[in-house]
Structure 1
Amino acid sequence: MGIRGQGSRRDLRRAAGPACMAYAFWAVMLGTTLATPLYPIYQRQLGFGSLVTTVVFAVYAAGVIFALLFGRSSDALGRRRMMLGGVAVSMIAAVVYLVAGDVPVLLAARVLSGLSAGVVTATGTVTLVELVRPERRGAAALLAAAVNMFGLGSGPLLAGLLAEYAPHPLRLPFAVDLVVLAFALVAVLVAPETIREPRVTWPRAQRPGVPAEVRPVFVPAAVAAFAAFAVFGLVTAVVPGILATVLHRPDRALTGAVVFAMFGASTAGQVLFAKVPERIALPTGCGVLVAGLAAIAGALLAESLPLLVTGTVVVGLGQSLGFRAGLAAVTAGTPAAQRAQTVSSFFLTAYAGISLPVILVGAAAQAFGLRDAAVAFTAAVAVLALAALVALLRLERRGTSGGAAESGRDRSPHHAGR
């Protein structure tokens, strides 16, 4: 009876595992973007401008990148330990936000948020895949990508609504976040461990690297990912200021909704375009990204809110196409022994896109104004996306012509005679 009861509990935990881990993944990613609609309030209360705002936003990427360097630690420590650590760091970040009274403390909160995101992005994705049967692993990977983007979009929407319609706009969102994360801790404890013999060991950093044979595919795919994440960084860090100063719409709930529209479109795109072949999805994603950037630039010049929302939605769709296909192409083309290292390099390149470029926008805004700096930024990122598109088309043409030549050789008389 006792053995049967233990087996039933194990089966129940196994069945609930994917939902529990998905919730924890979502909760941590929600916390990483919670501050987005609150930046104008921080600017006013702490007395800083656009440059400091972009620096505060961008140090998040430093935390993510540092955590990704240790992305394989869960192979030894166990998935649950790493997920518990990620949730705990996210809770510490929320507490630091609650007591933030100056810029250094705000910076510390952002770095901690980045660390939690880096830990959970790597570990949560792998755990969701391992918790399902082999034939459902493709769907689990898709779920992980969708949960990631939906969590990133949920943070600004929740904080924007609370900051606009409830008291204590710099406190209440993070108090609610702590409650959400407390349930995430319970969810991780309920889920089963997927590593057979986890052990306590000192985490070791993994050096980024890309095998020479994968670089022709890796470089354009990584450039496209860099461009997509740079736009995500722009929208998340600068749109609150653009809405308030350029479009004269300081509504915090609106800010959260606009940012949510971008991440929501990316989430929907992950599902809608899941079956689009990589060779089509990657260049198409670059083209859609350029169209979205053009709409955002047009919105800034015309001071049009509908066009800005349209641009953010199109950018989200382009990102969902390009990033998924780029990651899949890089993963498929890399030898198994070097796959983790190459995928980490791909993520590191993508997350670099939300740091330095956004800081440059903040610096340019000091000299030329936020609108002109943002327009210049969209043009520069569009050039990057176009360069990736051209490289991908050339790669596809070379592969097609190579395949045709090989096919021709197979049909030659000399070949037939053999």
Structure 2
Amino acid sequence: MKQRNGTGWYAAATYVFAVGMAGTTLPTPLYGLYRGQLGFSELMVTIVFAVYAAGVIAALLVAGDFSDVLGRRPVLLAALALSAASAVCFLFEGGLPLLFTGRVLSGFAAGLFSGAATAAVLELAPSGSSGFAATAANMGGLGCGPLLSGVLAQYAPKPLMLPFLAHLGLLAVALVLTLVLPETVHRPEPRPPLRPRGMAVPRQVRPVFVPAGLACFAGFSVFGLFTAVSPGFLSETLHVGNLAASGAVAFSVFASSLAGQALMSRTGVARGLPLGCVGLVAGMVQVGCSLLVASLPLLVTGAVTVGIGQGLAFRSALSAVGERAPEEHRGATLSALFVTAYLGISLPVVGVGALSVGMGLRDAGLVFSACVIVLAAAVGFRLHRARG
């Protein structure tokens, strides 16, 4: 049964969600330091990053709806524990095994937060609220992670320890808040068995799902680029060694995505998806040009533009697929969309790392930019023709 106790619980749940998601992007500005300390290649950086997405996908497929059965608080507590365990792995890392373990645990945590925390924020929202705080907590947390670690790593001692100690402190506050949050789920007795919900795309949804999924794939691949490889672009191509600047660039993508999602209320779903694709194309053109001419301002404007496009396309895709999917298959269909998105955040960025071994990071980034431009333009053109 829902319990609404005003904006206090709403704000508390939003904080828990944001802090949990911040941990998933905390290592972004630090990958260069790990490379120098452990001596691995840019390809290995992208693989370390990508195993996070594997953890998210596994959690979504196996436990995506567990909070509907167990309640929100138990699942949130499990997610916080996994997030803390991830931070501990980074604190005590002595090589790649703990880095991989930390990233996988972080992915598991993000997968649990995605369902349970979103639901908790929406259910604790004051009457009349649109629940936009759920999206703000998700994207805002993802953006604040690299900003926090970049500032601490640049201007405070122990750059590979202090960001994770700070996050553990934030998680401790989130733990206390979670323990006192009102439970919003009436747990049935006897408890039904916990079963993986899997994913499915009914035949009648596929005409909408295919372009929506491709747009999500393209948009999330840009997230992968900026959270895994952009620090390398800044240091190697643009010769910017400031870790706070690296974190700020990653932050700008997520903050702009939030702005793009807010725009959908004005554009509507039908216009939002093709317009989002236009934003992806325009942004990646700027990112590609920034690599060609070694321009930090162009990289930043490209990050903002591509973030707005990603946010607009992503929220429009969620709405379009959610509206078309039958109620009895809606959760499984949206799971398939999220899996498509998280494949986008992982596979292409590993490709960038592999290409960088042979052709250098800048040229690999140019190839990636061209691929995203072609994919987003093709999806946008198809959607435009369908509307016409």
Alpha-carbon contact 2:263-2:312 (below 8 Å) kept? no
Shift of 1:135: 4.5
**Of the candidates 12, 18, 29, which is equivalent to residue 20 of structure 1?**
12
Shift of 1:208: 1.4
In the other structure, the counterpart of 1:253 is 244
> Which residues of 2 match residues 188-199 of structure 1 at below 5 A?
188-197=178-187
The structure number with the bigger radius of gyration is: 1
In the other structure, the counterpart of 2:31 is 39
User: What secondary structure, in the 3-state scheme, does the structure 2 residue paired with 1:355 have?
Assistant: helix
Q: Distance in 2 between matches of 1:182 and 1:228?
A: 33
Alpha-carbon contact 1:331-1:343 (below 8 Å) kept? yes
Q: Distance in 2 between matches of 1:52 and 1:154?
A: 24
Q: Distance in 1 between matches of 2:10 and 2:168?
A: 22
AA in 1 matched with 2:103: R
> Which residues of 2 match residues 209-358 of structure 1 at below 5 A?
209-358=200-349
Shift of 1:300: 0.2
Alpha-carbon contact 1:159-1:173 (below 8 Å) kept? yes
Alpha-carbon contact 2:7-2:126 (below 8 Å) kept? no
The superposition leaves residues 357-377 of structure 1 with CA deviations (integer Å, 9 ceiling, x where unpaired) of 111110000000000001001
AA in 2 matched with 1:175: L
What is the aligned-residue RMSD (CA, Å)?
1.5
Structure 2: which 5+ residue stretches go unaligned?
Answer: none
**Does 1:61 pair with 2:53?**
yes
AA in 2 matched with 1:185: L
The superposition leaves residues 35-54 of structure 1 with CA deviations (integer Å, 9 ceiling, x where unpaired) of 00000000000110100000
Percent identity for Structure 1 against Structure 2: 49
In the other structure, the counterpart of 1:150 is 140
Q: Distance in 1 between matches of 2:120 and 2:223?
A: 26
**Of the candidates 70, 80, 84, which is equivalent to residue 87 of structure 1?**
80
Shift of 1:165: 0.4
User: What secondary structure, in the 3-state scheme, does the structure 2 residue paired with 1:168 have?
Assistant: coil
AA in 1 matched with 2:71: G
User: What secondary structure, in the 3-state scheme, does the structure 2 residue paired with 1:195 have?
Assistant: coil
Q: Distance in 2 between matches of 1:285 and 1:338?
A: 26
Alpha-carbon contact 2:46-2:353 (below 8 Å) kept? yes
AA in 2 matched with 1:60: Y
Query: After the TM superposition, which of the residue ranges 198-207 and 310-319 deviates more from structure 2?
Result: 198-207
Shift of 1:392: 1.4
AA in 2 matched with 1:65: I
User: What secondary structure, in the 3-state scheme, does the structure 2 residue paired with 1:240 have?
Assistant: helix
TM-score of the superposition, structure 2-length normalised?
Answer: 0.96
Runs in 1 of length 4+ with deviation above 6 angstroms?
Answer: none
Alpha-carbon contact 1:153-1:263 (below 8 Å) kept? yes
> Which residues of 2 match residues 58-207 of structure 1 at below 5 A?
58-69=50-61, 70-132=63-125, 135-136=128-129, 139-140=130-131, 142-197=132-187, 203-207=194-198
Shift of 1:198: 5.7
User: What secondary structure, in the 3-state scheme, does the structure 2 residue paired with 1:274 have?
Assistant: helix
In the other structure, the counterpart of 1:391 is 382
Alpha-carbon contact 1:16-1:191 (below 8 Å) kept? no
Shift of 1:133: 5.8
Q: Distance in 1 between matches of 2:236 and 2:126?
A: 51
Residue 178 and residue 133 in structure 1: after superposition, are their counterparts in 2 closer, same or farther (change >3 A)?
closer
Residue 11 and residue 372 in structure 1: after superposition, are their counterparts in 2 closer, same or farther (change >3 A)?
closer
AA in 2 matched with 1:118: G
Structure 1: which 5+ residue stretches go unaligned?
Answer: 1-9, 398-418
TM-score of the superposition, structure 1-length normalised?
Answer: 0.89
